């Protein structure tokens, strides 16, 4: 597991509070604005940052993230620039964990070994590759583990007791619980369903659990924050920031974190 991820969750445990994990897409709406947003996130309250790797076909994401990826790509984003963005962030912040989230195709196109080497030297702490199941992730997981980069696996409402051990075997950093079926930014999950699922995961693993895909509002987060896990609430940041960019221009990004 990344030392930064371990240190951050240990600190959160000592403070007896849940993590606030933010999401932005690298290069959206343009490289300069995206770089400034990334730099501001820790001071705005982010405990962990999820940085989206732009891709032409983000099948697990809803319209908001799909549009963000397309804008970023249109503005010239690519994997090399995404990793440079992380390296630039590390010049001023050596504490906040950064998780790259996305799909395997851009990693494969970059070259797995080259990607892991560059990600490690840039200061990446973890990877969430949503279309890479445990049975097929050894090509990435093994070199990533050697480089100290966590492979963060996903569990879903359909991950039963027979499947869960396979998901947990080789997982590191934390486990991402996808609380609703479908794409990001759509329906909200029921607290009781999430609580039952997370309780079952905690019985099988000591990994922290992050909840995503159905956590859209402060009310959703408030319902989870007192549980023995780390709620994940990333999607609203983009939805709230984007209208302000459109109204005030790309050089006036505003972050709302609470």
- Residues 53-92 have pLDDT tens digits of 999 988 777 788 889 999 999 999 999 999 999 999 999 9
- Residues 227-256 have pLDDT tens digits of 555 444 444 354 444 444 444 444 444 443
* CATH 3.30.830.10 assigned to 3-248: no
Catalytic pick from 28, 47, 61, 125? Answer: 61
> What is the value of pTM for the model shown?
0.86
- Residues 177-234 have pLDDT tens digits of 987 665 554 455 566 688 888 889 989 999 998 887 766 666 666 666 665 554 444 4
- Catalytic residue check, 50: yes
- Residues 19-51 have pLDDT tens digits of 888 899 999 999 999 999 999 999 999 999 999
- Catalytic residue check, 113: no
How many residues are given for the chain? Answer: 258
DSSP assignment of 100-150: EEE-HHHHHHH-HHHHHHHHHHHT--EEEETT--GGG-HHHHHHHHHTT-E
Catalytic pick from 28, 47, 50, 125? Answer: 50
Note the Cα 173 to chain centre separation in Å: 12
Per-residue DSSP letter, 21: E
């Amino acid at each position: 597991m990344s030392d930064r991820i371990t240190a951050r969750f240990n600190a959160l445990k000592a403070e007896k509070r849940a993590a606030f994990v933010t999401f932005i897409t690298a290069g959206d709406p343009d490289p300069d604005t995206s770089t400034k947003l990334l730099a501001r996130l820790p001071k705005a309250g982010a405990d962990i940052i999820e940085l989206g790797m732009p891709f032409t076909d983000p099948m697990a994401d809803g319209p908001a993230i799909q549009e963000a990826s397309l804008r970023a790509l249109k503005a010239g984003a690519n994997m090399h620039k995404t990793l440079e963005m992380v390296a630039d962030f590390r010049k001023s912040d050596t504490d906040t964990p950064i998780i790259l989230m996305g799909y395997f195709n851009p990693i494969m196109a970059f070259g797995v070994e080259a990607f892991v080497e560059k990600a490690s030297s840039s200061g990446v702490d973890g990877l969430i590759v949503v279309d890479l199941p445990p049975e097929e992730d050894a090509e990435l997981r093994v070199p990533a583990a050697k480089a100290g980069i966590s492979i963060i696996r996903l569990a879903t409402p359909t991950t039963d007791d027979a499947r869960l051990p396979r998901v947990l075997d080789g997982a590191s950093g934390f486990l991402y619980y996808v609380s609703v079926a479908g794409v990001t930014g759509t329906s909200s999950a029921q607290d009781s369903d999430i609580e039952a699922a997370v309780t079952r995961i905690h019985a099988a693993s000591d990994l922290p659990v992050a909840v995503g895909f159905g956590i859209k509002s402060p009310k959703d987060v408030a319902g989870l924050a007192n549980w023995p896990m780390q709620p994940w609430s990333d999607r609203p940041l983009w939805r709230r920031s984007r209208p302000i960019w459109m109204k005030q221009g790309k050089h006036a990004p505003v972050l709302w974190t609470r």
